[in-house]
Amino acid sequence: MIEKPFIIAEIGVNHECSLDRALKLIDLAAEGGADAAKFQTYKAKDLARKDSPAYWDLSKEKTTSQRELFKKFDCFLEKDYERLYEHCLKRNIEFMSTPFSGGAFDWINPLVKRHKLSSSDLTNVELIEKIKSSKKPVIASTGAANMKEIRQLVKTFSCVNNFTLLHCMLSYPTSLKDANLSNIIYLKEQFPDIKIGYSDHLTSNYVHALFSAYIMGASVIETHFTDNKEGLGNDHYHALDVYDLKKLVSWCDDFQKAYGTPRSNVYECEKQSRLQARRSVTSSVKIKSGELLTKENITLKRPGDGIPAIKYYDLLGKKALHDIEEDQKIPDNWLI
């Protein structure tokens, strides 16, 4: 049976500095069926220079400076992440948070079962060394990376038990034509010994594309999550809400149930239908004892509870062993 995907609801900073809203988003992620609720941990001053320009769709998020945008949402302190972690425990959903600096790593490392490395930090050797030192499972996104960088990343984390690569497009939002889901299959071919997943930046109009990623072999699906898809700026405009998440989880559950096993024999659920829908050799007229069986007096009819249809030609020319009425199955011993 195919495994259920590990679904990460990437709340990120869609709480907009409200702890109550962050707690509500955890509730919604749990209600929607996500396996993990993920945040982002950073301080803007440690993340970007003052002159760092925007790389997102400015019609959706009008802040033109990375530093200024990140500064809006770096309000949570260590104790706040502890509160989020505790709330996740209560809701039976895994707490995750992406660290964007060594200091952020120190805050969240005691709280997480696994670490997430952002696409933007695939070459951040300082942070990578910290994450490696934790000896915890690692999930790494590969947005905007070339294969040389990806191979180096895989090599770097070869000592980590349970390492996962996520296909990702570092484009906010990603258009459907740029989703490049075929890269999931390519990464599975290139790295057959590690798990491959998908980190999504499509809009919620394309929930079916996330489902497609699962069908194509993604064992982890990370998708941005919000309580208001109409929210201005930030990541709301390319995020799923609880209703979208429920739909995705339901589709994945159905596919997992339907996936089954390759056919090697008759499936159990088919056995009764096989018996009733197949044909067996049947008398087409009244046949007298000693009469030869011919195409004129025997035929093939349902159900398949007598001599199987495939033996029809083997019966031709044999003698009837006793009288038999029209439309009766030919007895098994007439085939001897």
Does residue 222 have a pLDDT over 90? yes
Contact 75, 30 (CB under 8 A): no
Work out the mean pLDDT of the chain and round it to a whole number. 95
> What pLDDT sits at residue 15?
96
Give the DSSP H/E element, type plus range, for residue 89.
Answer: helix 78-90
Contact 202, 176 (CB under 8 A): yes
Query: Residue 34: CB partners within 8 Å, gap ≥ 6?
Result: 7, 8, 9, 93, 225, 245, 249
Across residues 277-296, what is the average pLDDT?
98
d(CA 149, CA 28): 36
Which domains are present in the chain?
A: 6-259 (3.20.20.70), 268-331 (3.90.1210.10)
Does residue 254 have a pLDDT over 90? yes
Burial state string for 227-244 with b = 16 or more CB within 10 A and e = fewer than 16: bebeeeebbbbbbbbbeb
Instruction: Report pLDDT digits (tens) over 5-63.
Output: 999 999 999 999 999 999 999 999 999 999 999 999 998 888 888 888 888 778 878 88
Least confidently predicted of 169-173, 218-222, 243-247, 252-256: 169-173
d(CA 205, CA 199): 16
DSSP letter (8 states) at residue 330:
P
Can you list the positions of beta strands (E) in 23-155? 36-41, 94-99, 115-117, 138-141
d(CA 97, CA 246): 22
Would you place residue 120 in the very low, low, confident or very high pLDDT band (cuts 50, 70, 90)?
very high
> What pLDDT sits at residue 56?
73
Q: Which of 144, 148, 121 is nearest to 132 (CA)?
A: 121
Would you place residue 177 in the very low, low, confident or very high pLDDT band (cuts 50, 70, 90)?
very high
Residue labelled with tokens 């907009």: 16
d(CA 313, CA 328): 18
Distances (CA, A) of 330 to 245, 296, 308: 58, 14, 10
> What pLDDT sits at residue 19?
98
Burial state string for 13-49 with b = 16 or more CB within 10 A and e = fewer than 16: bbbbeebeebbebbbbbbebbbbbbbbbbbebeebbe
Would you place residue 181 in the very low, low, confident or very high pLDDT band (cuts 50, 70, 90)?
very high
Helix (H, G, I), strand (E, B) or coil at 41: strand
DSSP line for 147-216: HHHHHHHHHHTTTSSSEEEEEE---SSPPGGG--THHHHHHHHH-TTSEEEEEE-S-GGGHHHHHHHHHT
Give the DSSP H/E element, type plus range, for residue 79.
Answer: helix 78-90
Across residues 115-136, what is the average pLDDT?
96
Instruction: Report pLDDT digits (tens) over 184-193.
Output: 999 999 999 9
Instruction: Report pLDDT digits (tens) over 288-309.
Output: 999 999 999 999 999 999 999 9
Q: 33 phi and psi, to 5 degrees? A: 100, 10
